[in-house]
Amino acid sequence: MIDIHNHILPGLDDGAADAQASLEMAKLALSEGIHTIIATPHHKNGRFLNPKETIEKKVDEFNQLLKSNSISLTILPGQENRITGDLLDEYEAGEILTLNHTNYVFIELPSNHVPRYTEKMVFDAQMNGLIPIIVHPERNQEIIENPDILYNLVKNGTLSQITASSISGHFGKKIKKFSSQLIEANLAHFIASDAHNVTSRSFRLIEAYDEIEKIYGVDTVYQFSENAELLVTGDAIYKEVPEKVKTKKFLGIF
């Protein structure tokens, strides 16, 4: 398996605190069948600054550490970018790191709302040759309340990535249900761990894929897994025509 969203690099953000914690995450990843991880440290989320050059250097160092410890896991460079109005300027300045140097780029929204400039920003990103991926939209309060926001973004070419722990129920029943609704409406294109450690924020990719297979069948699992591989190589992913999430209101009235 390939995990495209992970905080395994030591000492950069709220993920692995040091090299030992990173190695523990690496060993757990291998035990769960993960052979490749895109490391995606937070950038400009109000707490952490991790520009492209810093991440690339840390990825090289950590791959060497894995090799010296005989851990056959491959780490690729990436970044989890908090959405800002300056993101494209930072990209032009060489601070923004796409996922494994492809055209795919992570966009993180605030947890409680969707900035009004989001639609314009992702459109401008596409006009600059980038393919924006909204990370964990199932945990965004405004999208939960108004899924049409995500529908409109996806309809216009933006992609989205659901967190494995959301599907497995570790973020609660409400988020688990909403994750399923996004999958059913073709509004989810990738499943990734967003792992920060080996305890409270672990991988759980196997659990998520098992849950998806149980509900939607093995073909859906294959599509999500294949999309991760296609992303790493910079190829076009599989995607279906998006639909609006059907939300029942009071007394079942739509």
d(CA 168, CA 207): 6
The whole-number average pLDDT for the span 100-129 is 97
| Total domain count, the chain | 1
Phi-psi region for residue 234, left (φ > 0), alpha (ψ -120 to 50) or beta?
left
- Confidence class for position 248, pLDDT limits 50, 70, 90: low
Q: Taking the CA atoms of 31, 34, 38 and 43 in sequence, report the sign of the dihedral they define.
A: negative
Decide if 223 contacts 239 (C-beta within 8 A).
Answer: no
The answer to whether position 231 is within a domain reads yes
Query: What pLDDT sits at residue 254?
Result: 42
pLDDT 10s digits, 165-197: 999 999 999 999 999 999 999 999 999 999 999
pLDDT in tens, 53-98: 999 999 999 999 999 999 999 999 999 999 999 999 999 999 999 9
Mean pLDDT of 235-249: 89
Q: What are phi and psi of 188, to 5 degrees?
A: -125, 135
Residue 229 has pLDDT above 50, yes or no: yes
Calculate ∠ Cα 247-251-254, nearest 5°: 35
Contact between 182 and 147 (Cβ < 8 Å):
yes
Determine, yes or no, domain membership for 178: yes
Give the DSSP letter of residue 83: P
CATH number for the domain that contains residue 44: 3.20.20.140
Q: Is residue 252 part of a domain?
A: no
Which residue range(s) make up the domain with 58? 2-245
Q: Considering the entire predicted model, what is its pTM?
A: 0.95
Q: How much is the pLDDT for 246? A: 84
Query: Closest Cα to residue 201, out of 141, 251, 136?
Result: 136
- Does the residue 253 lie in any domain? no
Q: Which two tokens stand for residue 41?
A: 């440290």
pLDDT at 251: 43
Residue among 251, 224, 217 at smallest CA distance from 239: 224
| pLDDT of 253 over the 50 cut | no
Q: Is residue 37 part of a domain?
A: yes
Residue 68 is assigned to a structural domain of this protein? yes
Inform me whether the pLDDT recorded for 247 exceeds 80. no
* 251 within domain boundaries: no
Contact at 8 Å (CB) between 160 and 133? Answer: yes
Average confidence (pLDDT) over 140-159 = 97
